[in-house]
Amino acid sequence: MNTPETNPAPPVSTAVKPRPIRRNGNGTKRQRRGYVVWIAAIALVLVLGYALRPKPIAVEVAAVDRGELTVSVLEEGKTRIRNRYVISPPLAGLLQRTPLRAGDKLEADKTVVATLETQPSGFLDPRARAQAEAAVAAAEAAVNLRQAEVARAWAAVDLTTKERQRAKQLQSEGTISVQEWDRVDAEATVRERELRAAEFAVRVAEFELNQAKAALLQAWEPEGGTTLFTMRSPVDGVVLNVFEESARIVGVGTPLMEVGDPRDLEVEIELLSQDAVSVRAGGDMLIERWGGEQPLRGRVSVVEPAAYTKISALGVEEQRVKVRADFVDQPPADRPLGDRFRVEARVITWHANDVLRIPTGALFRRGGEWMTFVFVSGEATLRKVAINHNSGVYAEVTEGVGVGDQVIVHPPDVVADGVKIRARQADGS
């Protein structure tokens, strides 16, 4: 029997259907941890790169400017009495003991410096007579020469005194500079000291003339028995040295005593010959470390033309030249200087009021040329410069840098051309 026809059932598929993905909290956390790790790694790399990158080098800089520059030579020296006189007898005899000691004051033609007991002299033979008369004539000529020097010194003092008076008037009106007034005043002071020295030389020459006449007179008019021959001080001053203190027989010309005027001081220094060639008579000097608070001004009087060999403390042979200078400023009365006192003298060899100057600490040699580092836009720039005068603190620069340029002072070895630097002023700012 036939059944009614019905719809066939759909075929059953054997394929597996994919399940829908369910997102939960564990997956999201894993992704976030990955991001944090990467971010931390990148940050670590950046920090390490920043830490390991070259840092700017800290240096001190100073500005190139215009100003005063003084070049000087500093050397030890000593004071000395310019005009010293050694008293010696014109006759032989027994020298009596003298009560004078070093430092005692003397008055010209009053203070007795030596007394001799002389034996009567016999008549002079023609040769000895001629020698004694020649000694008197030479002493008279020396007196005339010294008197002429006094007259010349008086004329120089008169001229410089008038110039000082005119300069003082101009200074009060503001017409001349302080430097010009100092020069005129110092010149007048030096001339006055030269006059005193010339007068000292006249008194010494007159003393020698009197001694020569006394010796000749005693020889021409011999007397029986012993006689006392008295010698008096030729100058006002003090006793510097007593060579013969005890009584004894002395001959003609035996040094007995050295006298001098302590107010007539000068400075004597010994310069290296390469430094002495730049020193001229009339040059300025500063006398330092003499015992007072302020330096004293001086004026170079003589640069000796001949050098001599001296062995230094290190055993090195040096050629030295003696330079003598006068005091322009006198020491105060409460701190007087004596003979052969130690001082330090700074001799001025060159001076200018307005030069382009650079600190010497910013200079160094490279291949025989002067170089410096200039601070430009945070970098060190190597420059070649031309140097003229150098004082040890500043140097005169003629090429390579200009006013306002910042140069590196005492650059360390790591500084090179183009290196980044961090600058601070040499005064600490």
3-state secondary structure of 261: coil
Say how far apart CA 424 and CA 429 lie, in whole Å. 6
pLDDT in tens, 311-340: 988 889 999 999 999 888 888 888 888 889
CA atoms of 370 and 386, how far apart (whole Å)? 7
Look at 10-19, 71-80, 160-169, 248-257 and tell me which has the smallest mean pLDDT. Answer: 10-19
The reported pLDDT for the residue numbered 219 is: 58
DSSP 342-404: EEEEEEEEEEEEEEEEEEGGG-EEETTEEEEEEEETTEEEEEEEEEEEE-SSEEEEEES--TT
Confidence check: pLDDT of 204 > 90? no
Are 328 and 297 within 8 A, CB to CB? yes
Q: Read off the pLDDT band of 288 (50, 70, 90).
A: very high
What average pLDDT score do residues 285-313 get? Answer: 90
Q: Do the beta carbons of residue 394 and residue 361 sit within 8 Å? A: no
CATH topology of domain 58-69+354-425: 2.40.420
Is the pLDDT confidence value at 121 over 70? no
Could you give the CA distance from residue 396 to residue 382 in angstroms, rounded to a whole number? Answer: 18
Q: Tell me which DSSP letter residue 420 carries.
A: B
What is the average pLDDT across 277-282?
Answer: 87
Higher model confidence: residue 97 or residue 30?
Answer: 97
Each domain of the chain, given as residue ranges in start order, spans: 58-69+354-425, 85-116+229-263, 121-222, 264-352
Q: Residue 6: pLDDT above 60?
A: no
Q: At residue 2, does pLDDT exceed 50?
A: no
For 190-204, 357-371, 374-388, which range has the lowest pLDDT when averaged over its residues?
A: 190-204
The predicted structure's pLDDT at residue 18: 54
Instruction: Using the predicted structure, report yes or no on whether residue 243 has a pLDDT greater than 80.
Output: yes
CATH of 85-116+229-263, one of 3.55.10.10, 1.20.1080.10, 2.40.50.100, 3.40.30.10: 2.40.50.100
Mean pLDDT, the chain, rounded, equals: 82
CA distances to 275, 344, 349 from 352, in Å: 19, 23, 11
Q: What is the pLDDT of residue 220?
A: 58
Structure confidence at residue 222 as a pLDDT band (50, 70, 90): low
24 or 301, greater pLDDT: 301
The pLDDT of residue 295: 92
Q: What is the pLDDT of residues 66-103, one digit of tens each?
A: 999 999 999 999 999 888 888 888 777 888 998 899 88
**pLDDT surpassing 70 at residue 119:** no
Q: Domain 264-352: give its CATH code.
A: 2.40.30.170
129-179 pLDDT per residue, tens: 676 777 778 878 888 888 888 888 888 888 888 888 888 888 888 788 777
